Amino acid sequence: MANITETIQTVPLNHYILLSAIIFSIGVIGVLIRRNAIVVFMSVELMLNAVNLLLTAFSVYKGDASGQVFVFFVMALAAAEVAVGLAIIVMIYRNTHSTDINVLSRLKW
């Protein structure tokens, strides 16, 4: 295990922040350009994971275990969110026979 942790020792914290920012932006772009509700949902998952990685990196950087416990709570929340969200998508599909989010434009001004 010692040689695995040695490989990380020369990576600056900035590069972790940069990686998380890039993946978070990819998630935002995915939400904006896709019309399939399930793919939009997967982009949200991508954003959640970027934040998880950043929290873990900061937790290791500061030597504080609370960050990793918080990631654990975020994962529990993500599991609950996916269950409810996919149930809503199934219900939408049953009513409109598609998962295209442009069909649901009734709230549009």
Partner 1 sequence: MSTFYFIAFLSIFFSLLVIFAKNPVHSVLYLILTFFTFTIHYVLLNAQFLAVVNFIVYMGAIMVLFLFVMMLLNLNKDAEPGKHYLVKLAGVIAGGCLLVTLVGTLKLTAKSDPVILQNANLGLVKNLGKVLFNEFLLPFEISSVLLLSAMVGAVLLAKKEQRATV
Nearer to partner 1, 42 or 104 (CB): 42
Question: Which of the residues 69 through 88 are near partner 1 (CB under 8 A)?
Answer: 69, 71-73, 75-84, 86-88
- Separation of first and last alpha carbons in the chain: 57
Number of residues that bind partner 1 (CB under 8 A): 76
Rounded to 10 degrees, the C-alpha dihedral 95/100/105/107 comes to 80
Question: Which of the residues 18 through 77 are near partner 1 (CB under 8 A)?
Answer: 18-19, 21-30, 32-36, 38-39, 41-43, 45-46, 49, 52-53, 56-57, 59-61, 63, 65-66, 68-69, 71-73, 75-77
Contact 89, 41 (CB under 8 A): yes
Q: How far apart are CA 41 and CA 86, in angstroms?
A: 9
Q: How far is the CB of 105 from partner 1 (least distance, A)?
A: 13
